[in-house]
Amino acid sequence: MTPKIINLPKIVDPRGNLSFFENPRQLPFEIARTYWIYDVPGGEKRGSHAFREQQEFIVALSGSFDVVLHDGETEEKFSLNRSYYGLLVPKMYWRRMENFSTNSLALIVSDKLYDAGDYIRDFEEFKNLKNVLS
Ligand code: TYD
C-alpha cells in the first residue's frame, strides 16, 4: 500500500458543513484508536518515527500542517489544510508532522492500540528494515 489522500464526503449546509468517514467506505481499516494533536507551539515538529505494523489516517480538522513521509528512498510532503480530506499513512513509512498553523488540530485514527514497541524511532534502523522488507 502507498500513501494517499482520501477525499471525504462534504455535506454543504447553510447551518454549517459536515464531513465524515466510515469503514470500509472511505477508510480501508477498522479504527482501534483515535488521538489528536493540538496546541502545537510555532515551529515545533511531531512524530519523527515509523510504525512497524499500524496504519493511520490523518485529517487537519482545523488549521493546517504538513505531513512529510519518507519511504526509505524519497521524501514526499503532503499539506493538509481542509477537514474534508485526509492522508492515509501505511505501515513502514517514516513520518514527520511540521509547519503547524496557530490553533491547528490534527485528528489521527489508527488500526492498532497504542504500542510503544510498534515505533521505530531510529531513521537508520528504519531504512535498514525497509530494505530487508522490499
Ligand atoms: P508519540 O506518538 O511518541 O508522539 P510524537 O511522535 O509526536 O512525539 O506520543 C507522545 C507520548 O504520548 C508518548 O509518551 C506516548 C503517549 N501516547 C499514548 O499514550 N497513546 C497514544 O495513542 C499516543 C499516540 C501517544
Determine the residue of 31, 33, 35, 56 to mutate for testing ligand 1's pocket, defined as the one with the most ligand atoms within 8 A of the Cβ atom: 35
- In sequence order, the β-bridge partners of residue 51 are 119
**Ligand 1 atom closest to Cα of residue 114:** 22
Residue 49 annotated as catalytic:
yes
**Percent above pLDDT 90 for the chain:** 96
pLDDT over 80 (residue 25): yes
The pTM for the full model equals 0.97
pLDDT, one tens digit per residue, over 48-63 is: 999 999 999 999 999 9
The grid coordinates of residue 49 equal: 518515527
91 alpha carbon to ligand 1 midpoint, in Å? 16
Q: Is the dihedral of CA 37, 126, 92, 69 positive or negative?
A: positive
At 44, phi and psi to the nearest 5? -75, 155
**Percent above pLDDT 70 for the chain:** 100
**Which pLDDT band holds residue 127 (cuts at 50, 70, 90)?**
very high
Mean pLDDT of the chain, nearest integer: 97
pLDDT, one tens digit per residue, over 72-121 is: 999 999 999 999 999 999 999 999 999 999 999 999 999 999 999 999 99
Q: Is 38 in the pocket of ligand 1 (CB under 6 A)?
A: no
Confidence at residue 26, expressed as pLDDT on a 0 to 100 scale? 98
Determine the residue of 45, 108, 114, 119 to mutate for testing ligand 1's pocket, defined as the one with the most ligand atoms within 8 A of the Cβ atom: 114
